[in-house]
Amino acid sequence: MAVDINSMGALRSKINLSLHTYHATRLWWGRGVESGKPQIIGMRQFLFLVGAVQRNATRDDPYADHWMLQIDAKLEDVRSRVDVLLADSEKLLKQIPEELTIEENVNQKPFMTPVYTGGQQGWLALRLLIDFDRLARNILLASHVALISRNDAFDLLRSANHDLRSLCAFPQRYPGYSGVTRDDFAANNAKAREAREKFGDLPKDVLEGTLRSPYAPMIQKSASAASPTVANVSEKNTQIPEADDPKQGEPDLYADLNYDDDPSEDKDTGTADAKK
């Protein structure tokens, strides 16, 4: 009997994320404007933003392709930082005497949420969040058994938290769909000239399509001309209880690491200007 492959559906899998620390969970949610404090872009908003960039890249938008390359560089930079901190934390835990048996530091009721990344760059970012969660657990355990001081533990947590926050905020600078294709630039038409004036010049290899992200999608030249927009992300999700601000003296390792940060610092941390 012949098999009608045209009747087959698409492959799907249900994927859930589990986080064990307040630090990683806060990075997932971010912080909404309704908190009365400056907004902080979380990982869930990051996934939406990079998904929009990738969708625009399918429409042969060279500016979207350029942004995918910038996001690649940002992911690589943060990955190198997190890998060093994670390796150091694991090396620290190896100092525990073999006479002490300590099980893995896990939450008895972890935060769980379904995830959809919108593209491979989203998965790379999600793995960074998971490794940050593991890093935070290692640091908290090391502090608990007196391998490091609370002050040192707090400094390590803040440093790693800032790296992840700068990643999440990075695509917030993406200006959205440019409205032009590489064919427009080849023809040097009015749309291409207007885009150059608004968004700046592009590197030749990006403009010609010879340099694209390894995670760039296939270009669909027949896509609709309707332009997707990247709107400000609304905060309608469950709020994560925030700990009190750390006071002078001994730091609270379970405090909100974002309590005194200026979100503008995150926006300024990047690999290239959006107009390049």
Residue 235: CB atoms within 10 A of its CB come to 17
Lowest mean pLDDT among 95-104, 191-200, 220-229, 256-265: 220-229
In sequence order, what DSSP letters do the residues of 201-262 get, joined into one string?
A: ---HHHHHTSS--TTPPPP-TT--SPPP--PPPP--SPPPPPPPPP-SSS--TTS-TTTT--
User: Could you report the per-residue pLDDT of 108-144, keeping only the tens digit for each?
Assistant: 999 999 998 888 999 999 999 999 999 999 999 999 9
| 156 is a domain residue | yes
- Coil vs helix vs strand at 18: strand
Domain enclosing residue 81, as ranges: 25-223+231-268
Q: How many domains does the chain have?
A: 1
The answer to whether residue 16 sits within a structural domain is no
- Judge whether 81 lies within some domain: yes
245 has pLDDT over 60: no
CB 241 within 8 A of CB 166: no
**Residue 40 DSSP SS3:** strand
| 14 within some domain | no
pLDDT at 152 over 60: yes
Q: Using CA atoms, how far apart are residues 271 and 141, in angstroms rounded to an integer?
A: 34
Would you say residue 2 lies in a domain?
Answer: no
Give, as one character, the DSSP assignment of residue 138.
H
Any domain includes 38? yes
Q: What is the pLDDT of residue 8?
A: 77
Q: Which long-range contacts (CB under 8 A, 24 or more apart) does 39-43 make?
A: 39/235, 39/263, 40/165, 40/168, 40/169, 40/258, 40/261, 40/263, 40/266, 41/165, 41/168, 41/169, 41/172, 41/233, 41/263, 41/266, 42/168, 43/125, 43/126, 43/129, 43/164, 43/168
Q: Does pLDDT of 231 surpass 50?
A: no
CB proximity list for 254: less than 8 A, separation 6 or greater: 22, 243
Q: Do residues 26 and 160 touch, judged by C-beta distance below 8 A? A: no
12 in a domain, yes or no? Answer: no
Average pLDDT taken over every residue of the chain: 85
Q: Is residue 6 part of a domain?
A: no
* pLDDT above 50 for 94: yes
Instruction: In whole angstroms, give the CA distance from residue 123 to residue 20.
Output: 19
